[in-house]
Amino acid sequence: MITRIATVAVLSLGLQACYVATNNNGYGQTAINFGDDSSQWAYDRECDDPRFAGPAMATAGLSHNNSYRDATDCRNAFSAGQVWLASGQNTNTYASNSGSYGASINFGDDASAWSYDGECDDPRFYGGGMTSTPLLAEDRYHDATDCRQQYNAGRIALR
């Protein structure tokens, strides 16, 4: 039993050393500069840094003035998987969801009347890449191309 515990401890230390050596957070992303907490919206439990996207983002009033200025809220949300770097951000890399998890999502087909309009109309998703019009149950699984593109760009996530 003691040998097993010692082996686990050594393996754990080895993995931590690899993590530090590669400056990698374990999700294929390099370290992110979250900045500081100088925003007036710091410590409100919402990420107000517009470089990010996800369900833990502030819902109104995002401003580029808050870039790098809501570190604690954004770091906590990022660690919980509730925000990610938004598409097009060149902030220490990684901006998309195009990984193996995305390949496992059944996006369905393009039978919706709203297919190919550049916005995801499938109510199973949420985020900035969604349509601003009311979501319809009949569009569930029927806007595959738009939703896949928005998902891969990091602008939507599956509920």
Check residues 7 and 77 and name the one with the higher pLDDT.
77
**Structure-token pair, residue 18:** 């690899």
Question: Which pLDDT band holds residue 87 (cuts at 50, 70, 90)?
Answer: low
Q: How far apart are CA 56 and CA 157, in angstroms?
A: 12
Check residues 149 and 153 and name the one with the higher pLDDT.
149
Each domain of the chain, given as residue ranges in start order, spans: 1-28
Close Cβ partners of 130 (under 8 Å, ≥ 6 residues apart):
119, 120, 121, 150, 156
pTM of the model: 0.42
Query: What residue spans of the chain are helical by DSSP H?
Result: 2-22, 71-79, 100-103, 144-152
Does 159 score more than 50 pLDDT? yes
